[in-house]
Amino acid sequence: MPTRTVAQQREERKTAYNAFIAACPTNKLLDTLSDKWTGLLLASLSDGPRRYGEIAAIVAGISNKMLTQTLRTLERDGLLDRQVTPQVPVRVDYSLTPLGVSLLPILAMLKEWAEANMDEVFAARASFDTVN
């Protein structure tokens, strides 16, 4: 295997994680992060660990299937931790990992932007719908 310079290695990583390439792992992660439920689930855990039922009560409208699927995906991606306590009945708590916590400021900025700009979005939609 030929030796590569640091610059060559950096360029290879840059190409390997190009989110504009469909097969890129970064593209798939962005797909997960932009999912309707991901941000809501992460935000529901921002105040600390919660049980499945607590999360379901906070995130209105999510089905049990989608909640389970999203929790598993986030656990697989290292954004949340699932802690099982053997008791009767078994207790399962979900909490954010440090990686998951690092996303909270980004989600907060996105939420703030959406809240601050909803009037403009509604106006743009109305204008578009009038023309089209």
Any idea what the CATH number is for the domain that residue 121 is in?
Answer: 1.10.10.10
6 found inside a domain = no
Find the mean pLDDT for residues 38-54: 95
82 found inside a domain = yes
78 found inside a domain = yes
In the predicted model, what is the mean pLDDT of the chain? 92
74 found inside a domain = yes
Predicted TM-score of the model (pTM): 0.79
15 found inside a domain = no
pLDDT digits (tens, 9 = 90+) for 58-90: 999 999 999 999 999 999 999 999 999 988 888
28 found inside a domain = no
Predicted pLDDT of residue 33: 92
45 found inside a domain = yes
Domain that holds residue 42: 35-131
Find the mean pLDDT for residues 48-54: 96
Name the domain count of the chain.
1
105 found inside a domain = yes
Q: Out of 7-11, 50-54, 83-87, which region has the weakest mean confidence (pLDDT)?
A: 7-11
Structure tokens at 89: 């009945």
Burial 114-129 (b: 16+ CB within 10 A, else e): eeeeeeeeeeeeeeee
